[in-house]
Amino acid sequence: MDNKVSKKQADILKNANSRWNLYTGAVRSGKSYITNILIPKRLKNLPDGRRAIIGKTETTIMRNILDPMQDMYGQKYVSDIEGKKREATIFGKKFYAIGANDARAVKKLQGAGLQYAVGDEITTWPEEFFQMLKSRLDKKGAMFDGTCNPEGPYHWLKKDFIDNKNLDVYHQHFTIDDNPFLDNLFVEELKKEYAGVWYDRYILGKWVLAEGLIYPMFDDNNLFDRKDMPSYQQEWIGVDYGTSNDTVFELIRLGDDNVLYVVDEWRYGAKNNGQPKDDTQLRVELQEFIKRNKANPDWIFIDPSAKSFITELYHHRQEFQAFYNVAGANNKVLDGIRRISSLLHNNVLKVEKTLDKLQEEFHSYSWDPRRQELGEDKPIKKYDHGLDGIRYIGNGIPRIVERVLMNAE
């Protein structure tokens, strides 16, 4: 196996000998790769003892650590996660595979004294889990190797650990340009896929705040006149569902010019319009919205909390062909915001110029500063109904979003 390493990776191999060894920064910068080279070195040099390999879930442990190690060394030396004890074998040594998905995961560490642990996506772990891990690495010479992408500067890992000069921590920071083995065209395309705070974190590897407006890049360049829209092949509808809040339908089409167009929307707010509409009334409104736009959506992505409305559409799917393709939306907020930010930044998401309410939301949607102080990225739940509908579509068509970004000029 040819283990070529970058300058920063070579520094890790030489100097990462602290109790806590942390490799943070940009995506695809070589953090995980160098960790996978380090693991056999640790097994050779550390005393024998209990070991753990930790990730957000067992699935991410397989995807981010064990699968790449199998590619590097072969399944003869690196196994899958197996058995009731959920262990993986690496070069003949057993590792507990522990998913740190929520606070309940703390129980998985209780009572276990560890000589060595490997961690993936540390910033996604509950803080309680990490605090427990510190007490479990209790054997003489115990070590930890861990990787993550950065989040805000108030995140507990940055504030209380990386920046704490009293702890035995080796920290290496990576940008995307620290990996000389990536294809230049791939790096260029990857940089298109991130904008704003996501660019700072995932490309430059900075621990920066998500503050102020969420979509500051939205401007007149992201507007279009419907009469000028090119022909299209695919279209989708996103539905944000409300009872006391607005219900909004958003129609997006993929133009033949490889640009996504928000063509039309429908809104109803009980606060402004009187009584809320029930599910049957909203179904009829959605049918009329589809008919008015002569639409045949590939999918209708609906707020996953709107179970009664999803059921209503399912029961009446015979009445309107489009209802065959109804799905509860993927509601991962930050993933959706990142996708929409990148589309706007590359000018491949455009909004019909008469959709004033939607434009107002783009210009008003903001990060919650109170949540930032707690180390969390969360939007203020205001000016977001139409944007949620758009986000549901973005999360529902990730491959199309990637293709659109790849072809952006």
Would you say residue 201 lies in a domain?
no
For residues 29 and 158, membership in a common domain is answered with yes
* Contacts of 171 by beta carbon, 8 Å cutoff, 6+ apart: 22, 23, 24, 162
CA dihedral (131, 136, 141, 142) positive or negative? negative
For residues 263 and 333, membership in a common domain is answered with yes
For residues 252 and 153, membership in a common domain is answered with no
CA atoms within 13 A on the CB side of 341: 22
The predicted model gives 374-387 an average pLDDT of 91
For residues 225 and 180, membership in a common domain is answered with no
For residues 145 and 280, membership in a common domain is answered with no
For residues 237 and 137, membership in a common domain is answered with no
Would you say residue 210 lies in a domain?
no
Residue 155 pLDDT greater than 80, yes or no? yes
For residues 141 and 225, membership in a common domain is answered with no
Final residue of a structural domain among 161, 184, 207: 184
What are the distances in angstroms from CA 156 to CA 26, 56, 161? 19, 16, 7
Quote the strand ranges of 26-92, DSSP E: 51-55, 87-90
Residue 388 pLDDT greater than 60, yes or no? yes
pLDDT band at 9 (very low <50, low <70, confident <90, very high): very high
Final residue of a structural domain among 184, 200, 233: 184
Report the alpha-carbon distance of residue 65 to residue 54 in Å, rounded: 10
- Main-chain phi, psi angles of 402, to 5 degrees: -60, -40
Would you say residue 204 lies in a domain?
no
Residue 1 pLDDT greater than 70, yes or no? no
For residues 31 and 172, membership in a common domain is answered with yes
For the record, the structure tokens of 358 come out as 């939607």
Report the alpha-carbon distance of residue 319 to residue 323 in Å, rounded: 8
For residues 243 and 317, membership in a common domain is answered with yes
What's the CATH code of the domain at 262?
Answer: 3.30.420.280
Q: How many domains does the chain have?
A: 2
pLDDT in the model for residue 289: 95
Report the alpha-carbon distance of residue 291 to residue 282 in Å, rounded: 14
Residue 226's domain comprises 220-406
pLDDT in the model for residue 108: 80
171 in Cβ contact with 24 (< 8 Å): yes
What's the CATH code of the domain at 154?
Answer: 3.40.50.300
Q: What is the pLDDT of residues 286-335, one digit of tens each?
A: 999 999 999 999 999 999 999 999 999 888 876 765 456 889 999 999 99
For residues 145 and 281, membership in a common domain is answered with no
For residues 224 and 86, membership in a common domain is answered with no
For residues 20 and 166, membership in a common domain is answered with yes
Final residue of a structural domain among 133, 165, 184: 184
Would you say residue 245 lies in a domain?
yes
Would you say residue 127 lies in a domain?
yes
Would you say residue 139 lies in a domain?
yes
Q: What is the pLDDT of residues 126-149, one digit of tens each?
A: 999 999 999 999 999 999 999 999
